[in-house]
Structure 1
Amino acid sequence: MNILNAILGVIVVFGLTFWASNNRRKIRYRPIIVMLVLQTVLAYILLFTSAGEVLIRGFASVFEMLLAYAADGINFVFGGLANEGQMVFFVSVLLPIVFISALIGILQYTRILPFIIRYIGLILSKVNGMGRLESYNAVASAILGQSEVFISVKKQIGMLPKHRLYTLCASAMSTVSMSIVGAYMTMIDPKYVVTALVLNLFGGFIIATIINPYTVDKDEDILVVQAEEKQSFFEMLGEYIMDGFKVAVIVSAMLIGFVALISLINGIFNGIFGISFQGMLGYVFAPVAFVMGIPWHDAVVAGSIMATKMVSNEFVAMLDLSSNQTLSPRSIGIVSVFLVSFANFSSIGIIAGAVKGLHEKQGNVVARFGLRLLFGATMVSVLSATVAGIFI
């Protein structure tokens, strides 16, 4: 039954993206099939085998250890802020981002991350049939973040045609940065976080190949990565620590605003229509949830959480999911995979702003295809959740 649900889900996703394609004749089906098979195999390994269980447990234990170390620094500054046994979201979930950001800075400074990103990107480019720049950008987005990644290729931003720029932005919106993976793992099962990270990497290329098909000539496939400004070790460390703190504060501010606004809108809808705004969106997104493999009796609640992610962000949706007591384990797993990406309305502004800061004209181009970008990134999340659903 799970396989039949997945086939239906894949057909719907491919049908919608084919309908939205800007050049159906140029779609290359061979790399799409190869990447879909790879997605399925990787989902099977991660969710259905003992080897995958060991890999995920190892990955999760590393982040548990990092979060424990981060807690030492947090407790030194904020110890006693929360009552024992209680969790203050900002302190326990967001502030560890500061420590993980510092570690990413050290790996960047020692040239370990650039090496990993380049060569994983090179391997990916052989699979997806796209350029080295697009493949590099997809891997770098998953490590550096959706806005920071554009700084590393800023020399090429101004020279990129619209179709290649779209793929770069789509990769940035379809993935999540490594600095906040630990925060996700405190709210949803780590195995779904890891699975989503892997599947979204290929899913981003699958959907971009259908929506935005093109080929890159060898003489155009030039990857020039902007070297970071030479800094001393402690200058770099201070910068990454401050960047991590800024991310934690920005996410906190967005959560305060979005949670309060959703609460206000829910109150208004309840007063006028007798149903909350999230409840109404649940009915709108229920068919999508069902297509992903979620049982119909859970589809409305699941659709509500999925819609919350799109109109606010993944943190708000994960909080809703973690507090939900009605969804079945299968539904929780599929929704969890769906939530692990930056596919929401606020990301359009973040990505357009990041590109605009580097190149005014290209930033305007990104803003114009913003909704198309969100549609593609959402289809990536639906596809990843559908494939993962075979093994949940």
Structure 2
Amino acid sequence: MPQLQSAFGLLVLLGLAFAISEDRGAVRPRTVALALALTVGLALLLLKVPGVTAAFSGIAAGVDAVAAATRAGTGFVFGYLGGGPLPFDPKTPGADFVLAFQALPIVLVVSALTTLLFHWGVLQPVVRGFSLMLERTLGIGGAVGLSTAANIFVGMVEAPLFIRPYLAGLTRGELFMVMTGGMAGIAGTVFVLYATLLRDVVPNVAGHLAVASILGAPAAILVSHLMVPDPAGGTTAAPTTAPAKIADSTMDAIVRGTTVGLELLLNICAMIIVLVALVHLANAILGLLPDVMGAPVTLQRGLGLLMAPVCWLLGLPWDQAVTAGGLMGIKTVLNELIAYVELSKLPADALDPRARLILTYAMCGFANFGSLGIMIGGLAAMAPERRDEIVSLGLKSIVSGTLSTCVIGATVGTMV
């Protein structure tokens, strides 16, 4: 059964994290067992309990509302390029969709909304609630719990701002948990974007992305503890003061959120252009090599073969593992946005619905080399005295973040 395959893969992934641990003797079985139980328990609750699943299905309505509101703005500014009425009949179905003018501007709206919710004090109690759950169930320090919980809603640089005064005093294991939490999730600013891209590929994808963001917290703690445990079991206390104000008024919050969103939007556009161009260039160079097994050598094929065993461990059939491995490789080497775009373009028969769902979870994280630079720069600026240690843990955080999202994918694979 594919569910048993996923369960076997889950154990292998955890065994791999333990095998590459800095100090296997310091790993606390109780913490591992509780973190695994919390990950599996939350997955069962969010995916199998009818009332809860119905609530998460309702997230799709919210995503549709934000997308429609964004199209109203882009259509007004960019006309038919932004989703407004077409002045002609398109010759090719889907040719009227322009990524830069219709999907990506969602980042602007979500950034402004997120800043507003923080300014109004709506999200802080939610973050603190998740933090308390992690502290009391897993016995981790309050500072780490707060940062990891914040990663459910904000990005890898914004979340540590909640505990900025405590970063310098974190133990090595706690610092690694903070870094892994950033790599094992996505920011709220891109959540709606990914849901919009995949809405026709994965049913109720918005709800599944929300579940993936929540499961990323205990999964990150589980994997990071296996890889970099604290011999002394450090537990840095939670901050007792509220985070600094992010805006002076509602209008100021809108302006600040829009400004931050604009920077992110421009970065995403530039990143897509450059990375897609580099992939095309790499494939052109690899195309000079003779065909292998009757097909040209491409970056996607190479990455697919490399990551295929991992995808099989997630519970995918072997005949689909190479295709899925290519997407996982693109996610790791480039980023998850391009991987999701490629997933949305795959023919219907390339991956079955179960494989697409598992991949959606397994790729829902920032664990890639580009994000590593962002994380090191942000954390080093907040805790300059820990810069060398942050850099030394950088590559490990990519591995731990990837293993965390794969653990989530395998966990979901045991239930679908």
TM bucket normalised to smaller: over 0.9
Q: State the distance in 1 between where 2:13 and 2:339 align.
A: 22
Is the Cα contact below 8 Å between 1:45 and 1:51 reproduced in 2? no
After TM superposition, the structure 1 = structure 2 runs for residues 63-142 of structure 1, keeping only pairs within 5 Å, are: 63-81=63-81, 84=86, 86-142=96-152
Greater helix share, structure number? 1
Among candidates 165, 169, 192, match of residue 182 of structure 1: 192
- DSSP-derived class of the 1:187 partner: helix
Could you tell me which residue of structure 2 aligns to residue 150 of structure 1?
A: 160
Is the Cα contact below 8 Å between 2:146 and 2:163 reproduced in 1? no
Q: State the distance in 1 between where 2:372 and 2:219 align.
A: 19
Identity of aligned residues (%): 25
Q: State the distance in 1 between where 2:308 and 2:175 align.
A: 32
Cα shift readout 1:15-48 (whole Å, capped 9, x = no counterpart): 1111111221221222322332333333334444
Report the CA distance shift for 1:217/1:390 in structure 2 as closer, same or farther (over 3 A). closer
Q: Following TM superposition, by how much is the alpha carbon of 1:236 offset from its aligned partner in structure 2, in angstroms? A: 2.5
Is the Cα contact below 8 Å between 2:246 and 2:253 reproduced in 1? no
Could you tell me which residue of structure 2 aligns to residue 315 of structure 1?
A: 337
Q: Following TM superposition, by how much is the alpha carbon of 1:57 offset from its aligned partner in structure 2, in angstroms? A: 1.6
Q: State the distance in 1 between where 2:310 and 2:7 align.
A: 14
Cα shift readout 1:69-89 (whole Å, capped 9, x = no counterpart): 222222221222257452111
Q: State the distance in 2 between where 1:309 and 1:241 align.
A: 27
Cα shift readout 1:295-350 (whole Å, capped 9, x = no counterpart): 00101111011000000000110111111111111211111111111111111101
Could you tell me which residue of structure 2 aligns to residue 159 of structure 1?
A: 169
Q: State the distance in 2 between where 1:308 and 1:66 align.
A: 28
| Matched AA of 2:120 | T
Q: Following TM superposition, by how much is the alpha carbon of 1:153 offset from its aligned partner in structure 2, in angstroms? A: 2.1
Is the Cα contact below 8 Å between 1:155 and 1:226 reproduced in 2? no
Say whether residues 1:211 and 2:221 are aligned partners.
Answer: no
Is the Cα contact below 8 Å between 1:43 and 1:387 reproduced in 2? yes
Identify the range of structure 1 (110-119 vs 149-158) with the bigger mean alpha-carbon deviation.
149-158
Report the CA distance shift for 1:322/1:120 in structure 2 as closer, same or farther (over 3 A). same
Q: State the distance in 1 between where 2:271 and 2:138 align.
A: 35
Is the Cα contact below 8 Å between 2:47 and 2:53 reproduced in 1? yes
- Return the TM-score normalized by structure 2: 0.89
- Return the TM-score normalized by structure 1: 0.94
Q: State the distance in 2 between where 1:199 and 1:102 align.
A: 25
Among candidates 270, 292, 295, match of residue 287 of structure 2: 270
Q: Following TM superposition, by how much is the alpha carbon of 1:273 offset from its aligned partner in structure 2, in angstroms? A: 4.2
Could you tell me which residue of structure 1 aligns to residue 303 of structure 2?
A: 281
Report the CA distance shift for 1:362/1:272 in structure 2 as closer, same or farther (over 3 A). same
Identify the range of structure 1 (316-325 vs 37-46) with the bigger mean alpha-carbon deviation.
37-46
| Matched AA of 2:320 | D
Is the Cα contact below 8 Å between 2:152 and 2:216 reproduced in 1? no
Q: State the distance in 1 between where 2:117 and 2:192 align.
A: 17
Q: State the distance in 2 between where 1:48 and 1:229 align.
A: 38
Q: State the distance in 2 between where 1:124 and 1:301 align.
A: 36
After TM superposition, the structure 1 = structure 2 runs for residues 312-391 of structure 1, keeping only pairs within 5 Å, are: 312-325=334-347, 326-391=350-415
Say whether residues 1:293 and 2:341 are aligned partners.
Answer: no
Report the CA distance shift for 1:255/1:129 in structure 2 as closer, same or farther (over 3 A). same
Identify the range of structure 1 (338-347 vs 360-369) with the bigger mean alpha-carbon deviation.
360-369
Is the Cα contact below 8 Å between 2:152 and 2:214 reproduced in 1? no
Q: Following TM superposition, by how much is the alpha carbon of 1:152 offset from its aligned partner in structure 2, in angstroms? A: 2.8
Report the CA distance shift for 1:160/1:202 in structure 2 as closer, same or farther (over 3 A). closer
Q: State the distance in 1 between where 2:196 and 2:387 align.
A: 34
Could you tell me which residue of structure 1 aligns to residue 209 of structure 2?
A: 193
Q: Following TM superposition, by how much is the alpha carbon of 1:246 offset from its aligned partner in structure 2, in angstroms? A: 1.1
After TM superposition, the structure 1 = structure 2 runs for residues 7-86 of structure 1, keeping only pairs within 5 Å, are: 7-81=7-81, 84=86, 86=96
Could you tell me which residue of structure 2 aligns to residue 253 of structure 1?
A: 270
| Matched AA of 2:326 | S
Q: State the distance in 1 between where 2:312 and 2:239 align.
A: 41
Is the Cα contact below 8 Å between 1:349 and 1:367 reproduced in 2? no
Identify the range of structure 1 (336-345 vs 356-365) with the bigger mean alpha-carbon deviation.
356-365
Q: State the distance in 2 between where 1:105 and 1:285 align.
A: 37
Cα shift readout 1:258-300 (whole Å, capped 9, x = no counterpart): 1110111112112224311110111111111111100001011
Could you tell me which residue of structure 1 aligns to residue 255 of structure 2?
A: 238
- DSSP-derived class of the 1:62 partner: helix
Which ranges of structure 2 fall in alignment gaps of 5 or more residues?
A: 87-93, 292-296
| Matched AA of 1:33 | A
Q: State the distance in 1 between where 2:404 and 2:173 align.
A: 18
Could you tell me which residue of structure 1 aligns to residue 294 of structure 2?
A: none
Residues paired across the two proteins, number = 391
- DSSP-derived class of the 1:343 partner: coil
| Matched AA of 1:81 | L
Say whether residues 1:227 and 2:244 are aligned partners.
Answer: yes
Report the CA distance shift for 1:288/1:229 in structure 2 as closer, same or farther (over 3 A). closer
Is the Cα contact below 8 Å between 1:311 and 1:345 reproduced in 2? yes
Q: Following TM superposition, by how much is the alpha carbon of 1:146 offset from its aligned partner in structure 2, in angstroms? A: 1.2
Cα shift readout 1:140-198 (whole Å, capped 9, x = no counterpart): 12212111222332222223333221111111111111121101101223143123222
Q: State the distance in 2 between where 1:314 and 1:383 align.
A: 17
Which ranges of structure 1 fall in alignment gaps of 5 or more residues?
A: none
